[in-house]
Amino acid sequence: MERIVIIGNGISGITTARNVRKQNSKAQIIVISSETKYFFSRTALMYAYMGHMKKEHMKPYEDNFWAKNRIELCFAHVNTIDFNGQKLHFSNGKQTNYTKLVLALGSKPNKFGWPGQDLEGVQGLYSYNDLELMEENSKNLRKAVIVGGGLIGVEMAEMFRSRNIEVDFLVRENRFWGNVLPKEEGNLVHKHIAEHGVKLVLETNLLEILSDENGRVRAVKTDTHGEIECQFVGLTAGVSPNIQFLKEAELETDRGIVVNEFLETSQPNVYALGDCAQFKVAPKGRRKIEQVWYTGRMMGETLAKTLTGKRTEYKPGNWFNSAKFFDIEYQTYGVVSAQVEEENEQFYWEHTNGRMGVKFVFNKSSEQFVGINTFGIRMRHELFDKWLTNTKSIDFVMEHLEDVNFDPELYKQYGSEIVNAYNSQFGKNIQIKKKKWARIFS
């Protein structure tokens, strides 16, 4: 009988298990994790801390779901893998065999060898255990310093501000998330974060984390602002594949576990996906490592087909992502780089309230639409994905801009303002076409 063993019970591993069971009623499916006994939603960490939901509600499935679907959950830690013998060796001395092995090992917060990075009160925010530790570290906490400039850092800042804890946010670049967001968007988010009482300390590097007499953080030392007193340091300078125990194994690794377009590793019957996987050749328009929730889910859906006899290539399509910066929702589709490429042109519109902005990127010569960032305005993913795939022009996008808005009864439209600003900047006379349903009744 097929015995499929999955190491990791995050979104990648669990999606794989669920979809294998849908397509194969007989295979044995075992999911191993040393983090938690049950799958939980990582995206819910901040909401549990802020009191918006109970911790038990972070589990998307009832506890009896797994037995009902004959998916065995094993709470254990894998020490080594014998690829030749197809066996896993656990820290408790036990072992188990597999016919097919899926490595869904996830990520770990980056540490860059800062002195004091292992003191009490210093941590990242990735796992359920991190949430538990953050709860403990928040007791009697007056001030936190967050190191890094990305999405996890903003989540941590919002969590602390919900409890009126003072926050300083150290960012190496000259704007927030400077390696991802263009200048205008970075400035918009900066202002919004500051409005929520977070102090952004730009162009500043962490040098050392200082200890008190009890081995707990008391301050950080920086290269521009000297010492900053605090009782907590959040390390949110990105994550990296959690593959340390495999570095000496007979498995091809680089930053992550190297896989081909079918999520197959260098070992037969061994697969990797999610945050720990690194493509030998990146899918078109994508990165070799993509540590995003929805890509983990898509990989799991794809790999399940291969595991059940239909070998399927992973094709994620156009890049997209979404997030939230306190009260501002963020969406991105296609390619919008921090620095506009030489062959591309960009157009940015920002509302006078400073909380809404849209950045369009298009090719200078062909005027092909290549990407968009939206802040504070909800737009429809499926249409942008279609327009990117069909290589529509920027003028076409402008003409049909109101088609991508959500229900106008719930969300105000700004298409006319955006298009008027576009016409003014580029000397055009684009007119927004009415939605199909509007034309029917006009």
Q: What are phi and psi of 119, to 5 degrees?
A: -70, 160
Mean pLDDT across the chain, nearest whole number? 94
d(CA 100, CA 268): 8
Are the beta carbons of 432 and 414 closer than 8 angstroms? no
Using the Cα atoms of residue 223, residue 227, residue 230 and residue 231 in order, give the sign of their dihedral.
Answer: positive
pLDDT score at 230: 98
Which residue type is seen at 77? H
Mean pLDDT across 331-356: 96
pLDDT at 379 over 70: yes
Measured CA to CA in angstroms, residue 283 lies from 112, 286, 325, 372 at distances of: 29, 5, 29, 20
Domains of the chain: 3-108+240-307 (3.50.50.60), 122-237 (3.50.50.60), 320-441 (3.50.50.60)
State percent of the chain over pLDDT 70.
97
Q: What is the pTM of this model?
A: 0.93
Per-residue pLDDT tens digits for 218-270? 999 999 999 999 999 999 998 999 999 998 899 999 999 999 999 999 999 99
Band (438; pLDDT cuts 50, 70, 90)? very low
pLDDT score at 441: 35
Q: What are phi and psi of 244, to 5 degrees?
A: -55, -45
pLDDT score at 436: 56
HEC sequence for 192-261: HHHHCCEEEECCCCEEEEEECCCCEEEEEEECCCCEEECCEEEECCCEEECCHHHCCCCCCECCCEEECC
Per-residue pLDDT tens digits for 167-212? 999 999 999 999 999 999 999 999 999 999 999 999 999 999 999 9
Please choose, from the candidates 245, 218, 210, 225, the residue with its C-alpha nearest in 3D space to the C-alpha of residue 80: 245
* CA-angle at 346, arms to 342 and 348, nearest 5°: 150
pLDDT at 29 over 60: yes
Q: What are phi and psi of 15, to 5 degrees?
A: -60, -40
Band (411; pLDDT cuts 50, 70, 90)? low
Alpha helices in 69-182 (DSSP H): 128-137, 151-161
d(CA 220, CA 207): 8
Q: Which two tokens stand for residue 213?
A: 């007499």
Which residue type is seen at 26? K
pLDDT score at 442: 33
